[in-house]
């Protein structure tokens, strides 16, 4: 093996210890690990890195590190499952709760360069882009509540037997793979890069949606409702600052926001989304708290639009205002 200095010169990661969560390590206090320097490409930055492989306990499969130590440290995640090391939560949940925006480039060209800069910064003692110490205590409390307090070793199980699914496995009980039918859903279509960067993570969405349901933001039955209603806005709030809070604070994709309508006189705002799915996603993300210009605001679902031919001039429901304003803006 060439000396470490040469590897560093080439911009490659070397590591003596992997950074792993307790679940991936398994219940056994004594683990034998195999180590393969430059064993694979990091699935985030694509640079070659030291791959560690181990058996986390009886009835488990061999597990290995998937991303390099530099990428893992930058987000404080496990090198294998990519969950936050402290809370065992997806980065998207953690970063939405703490209002942290991802700074990592997602384009291929800059990724390697970014990783090299991160590595240099970490060597010089920086804590990476993820600085947990700055998180407020309310955020930490919420993360503790969202975290599973009964970590199971389910994720260490062997993979599902592909022959069994086709009805063609003849190994029976001696088959090392799991004899279960695969479940095709959002959760089975995860990708490491998305989970690392905390975007479009189906597990995160599930956790946040559940929290939304418990905090009065369950999606209303009327499927036509695609707007959220914000109240208790600070006097400084503008349509731009609300949009900015939704995008950079709550992590909602800018393209999913159809319009933001601010009624300054009553410090309320309607946020209309491009689809019902986008609105549900936004409600889930806002359920952990939304700050506009540094002030916590209240988020509710919009109400049903009044039926056509109904009594005109009745009590003004929020939805009526939305449609009036929409006509106004499209007319410009």
Q: Which residues bind Zn ion (CB under 5 A)?
A: 21, 24, 42, 44-45, 68, 71, 78, 80-81, 161, 164, 169, 171, 175, 177
Which residue's CB is nearer to Zn ion, number 71 or number 208? 71
Task: Tell me whether residue 54 or residue 164 sits nearer to Zn ion (CB atom).
Answer: 164
> Shortest gap between Cβ of 44 and Zn ion (angstroms)?
5
Nearest CB to Zn ion, comparing residues 161 and 271: 161
Give least dist CB 307 to Zn ion, A. Answer: 52
Q: C-beta of 3: minimal distance to Zn ion in Å?
A: 22
Burial 148-169 (b: 16+ CB within 10 A, else e): eeeeebebbeeeebeebeeeee
- 161 phi-psi bin (left φ>0, alpha ψ -120 to 50, beta other): beta
The 10 Å CB-count burial string (b at 16+, else e) for 230-265 is beebeeebeeebbbebbbebbbbeeebbebbbbeee
Nearer to Zn ion, 119 or 280 (CB): 119
Rounded (5°) CA angle 50-52-57: 170
Provide, rounded to whole angstroms, the least separation between the CB of residue 209 and Zn ion: 23
- The least distance separating Zn ion from the CB of residue 71, rounded to whole angstroms, comes to 3
Closer to Zn ion by CB, 153 or 177: give it. 177
């Amino acid at each position: 093996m060439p000396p470490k200095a040469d590897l560093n010169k080439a911009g490659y990661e070397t590591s003596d210890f992997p950074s792993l969560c307790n679940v991936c390590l398994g219940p056994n206090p004594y683990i034998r690990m195999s180590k393969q320097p430059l064993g694979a490409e990091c699935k985030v930055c694509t640079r070659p890195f030291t791959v560690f492989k181990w058996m986390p306990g009886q009835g488990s499969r061999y597990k290995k590190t998937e991303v390099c130590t530099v990428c893992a440290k930058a987000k404080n995640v496990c090198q294998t499952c990519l969950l936050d090391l402290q809370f065992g939560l997806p980065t998207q949940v953690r970063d939405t709760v703490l209002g942290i925006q991802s700074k990592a480039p997602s384009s291929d060209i800059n990724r390697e360069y970014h990783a090299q800069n991160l590595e240099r910064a970490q060597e010089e003692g920086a804590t990476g882009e993820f600085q947990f110490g700055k998180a407020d205590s309310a955020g930490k409390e919420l993360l503790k509540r969202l975290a599973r307090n009964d970590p199971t070793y389910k994720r260490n199980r062997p993979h599902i037997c592909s022959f069994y699914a086709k009805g063609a496995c003849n190994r029976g009980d001696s088959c090392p793979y799991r004899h279960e039918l695969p479940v095709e859903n959002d959760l089975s279509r995860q990708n490491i890069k998305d989970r690392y960067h905390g975007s479009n993570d189906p597990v995160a969405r599930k956790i946040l949606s559940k929290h939304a349901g418990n905090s009065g933001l369950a999606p209303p039955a009327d499927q036509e409702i695609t707007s959220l209603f914000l109240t208790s806005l600070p006097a400084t709030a503008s349509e731009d600052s609300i949009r900015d809070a939704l995008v950079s604070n709550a992590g909602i994709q800018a393209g999913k926001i159809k319009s933001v309508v601010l009624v300054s006189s009553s410090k309320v705002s309607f946020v209309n989304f491009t689809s019902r799915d986008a609105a549900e996603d936004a409600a889930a993300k806002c359920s952990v708290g939304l700050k506009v210009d540094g002030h916590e605001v209240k988020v509710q679902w919009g109400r049903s639009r009044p039926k056509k031919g109904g009594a005109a001039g009745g009590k003004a429901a929020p939805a009526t205002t939305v449609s009036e304003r929409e006509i106004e803006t499209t007319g410009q």
